[in-house]
Each structure stands twice: as C-alpha cells, then as structure tokens.
Amino acid sequence: MLRCCILEFESTWEKYLPLIEFAYNNSFQSSIKMAPYEALYGRKCQTPLVDLIKEIELKVKAIRDSLKAASDHIEFEVGDKVFLKVSLWKKILRFGLKSKLSPRFIGPYEIIERVGPVVYRLMLPPELENIHNVFHVSMLRLYRSNPSHVIAPTEVKIQSDLPSKEEPIRILARETKELRNKKISLVKVLWHKHGVEEATWDPENIMREQYQQLFTSKIFEDENP
C-alpha cells in the first residue's frame, strides 16, 4: 500500500498516511478472519465515512437492479433493426481502436428471430460470422431510421483551393515542458490559412527535422546570440 501511495502521490505521499492507516485497519485480513480494528476493539469500525460507503453501495445496487428490471421489459419485433453493445467483447473485437476510443455500439443489425422472452437472434454480417448471433435484450438498442440523417452528395461543398498539405508559417513562441525524468522543448506553430488561436504546440526536434527554415526567426536569434 505504501508503494502504491508513493508512486501515485510522489513527494506528497506522507499527507495520505492517515487514510492508508484507516484503509488498512478496516480491511478484511484472511490470517485473522477479520479486520485489524475489529480484532483490537472487539467490534467493527463505525464512522460517518464507513456509513457513507455502505449507503453509496446500496444506492448503486438499487440503480443496477432497476436498470436490469427495465431492460427485462423491453421488447422488439422481428424485422426491427438494433444496435449491438460491444463493450463486453474487448477480447474478441478491437475495431482498430482501444479503450475509450472503442465504439460502444455497432450496427444496426436486423432481428430475424425471437428466441425467448428477452433473447433475440440477429442477422450479422460475414465479418462477424464467428460470433454467436443470439443476444440478451440488455445488449440491444433500437435503431430508429431518420431520413434527415442522410446527406445527399449535392449538399456537400468542397473547397477547391484547399492545400493538399498543411504548411507552417512561423514560430510564435517556445517553452520547455518538464516531465518526471526529462524535459521536452515545444514550439508554438502558426499554420497556413489558420489564425493565431488555432496555433499548435509541437515538439521542437520534430519541427526542426521537417521545417528547418522556421528556426531562423527572431525568437531563436534572441535566445542564441
């Protein structure tokens, strides 16, 4: 616990020692079959914090139970199209993205059979043929088609004079970002056809390799007399 605390809070870790002590003394220990606090005082610790944690746990359980009960009453018809939840498939499907960038739902797919009161069979595409096509209702979301979501090609306007590649104009500023074990030099770059408010901070070494001509500006001459 101390190692984790030091890694997380670094130089301020000693401020959290009382919380570590509290957590340890009220954690179940398999060797004595109880928490150290209970072994010492003969009763479980009763504090506003413990009561608050129990209250939160009960509220979370109540919310989960209500959501499960609500999902059990959802019904679909054969022919309906639904989105399929994929958060439980992380070890099977990646879709080229990971973690927070992974899609929560895919589809829509057509329901071809109602297998049970809360179980449906979907018509999956060939790339998902290795996945069993029967799913619980909690993994499905109804898809409602909307013609307004379709954009006709004639409505898309393409600007003909757009450059094929973004080009930087000049360096506006520079700074050094200090990380735990190293320092990184950054430069603020103004790009062609973009305002100052859209300037970006980029690593100086990368920008030097690609755009050496930018580093002859006054901002660098002043720092290197």
Read off the pLDDT of residues 16-59 as tens digits, 9 standing for 90 and up. Answer: 888 888 888 888 888 898 888 889 888 887 776 666 666 766 77
In a domain, 130, yes or no: yes
Q: How many domains does the chain have?
A: 3
Domain termination residue (choose one: 39, 70, 101): 70
85 and 142 within one domain: yes
DSSP, res 29: B
Range of the domain at 15: 2-70
42 and 21 within one domain: yes
61 and 86 within one domain: no
In a domain, 159, yes or no: no
In a domain, 49, yes or no: yes
**Is residue 167 pLDDT above 60, yes or no?**
yes
Domain termination residue (choose one: 90, 120, 149): 149
Read off the pLDDT of residues 123-152 as tens digits, 9 standing for 90 and up. Answer: 988 877 777 889 888 888 888 877 665 555
CA distance 135 to 104: 15
In a domain, 158, yes or no: no
CA distance 23 to 7: 17
Domain termination residue (choose one: 149, 181, 202): 149
Helix or strand holding residue 90 (H, E): none
Query: Which of the given ranges, 69-78, 136-145, 150-159, has the highest pLDDT on average?
Result: 136-145
β-strand pairing of 119-123 with 183-191: unpaired
6 and 39 within one domain: yes
Beta-carbon contacts of 109 under 8 Å, excluding residues fewer than 6 positions away, are 81, 82, 83, 84, 122, 123, 124, 125
In a domain, 203, yes or no: yes
CATH number of the domain at 189, please.
2.40.50
150: which 2 tokens? 């379709």
State the pLDDT at residue 113.
93
The better pLDDT of the pair 224, 191 is held by: 191
In a domain, 47, yes or no: yes
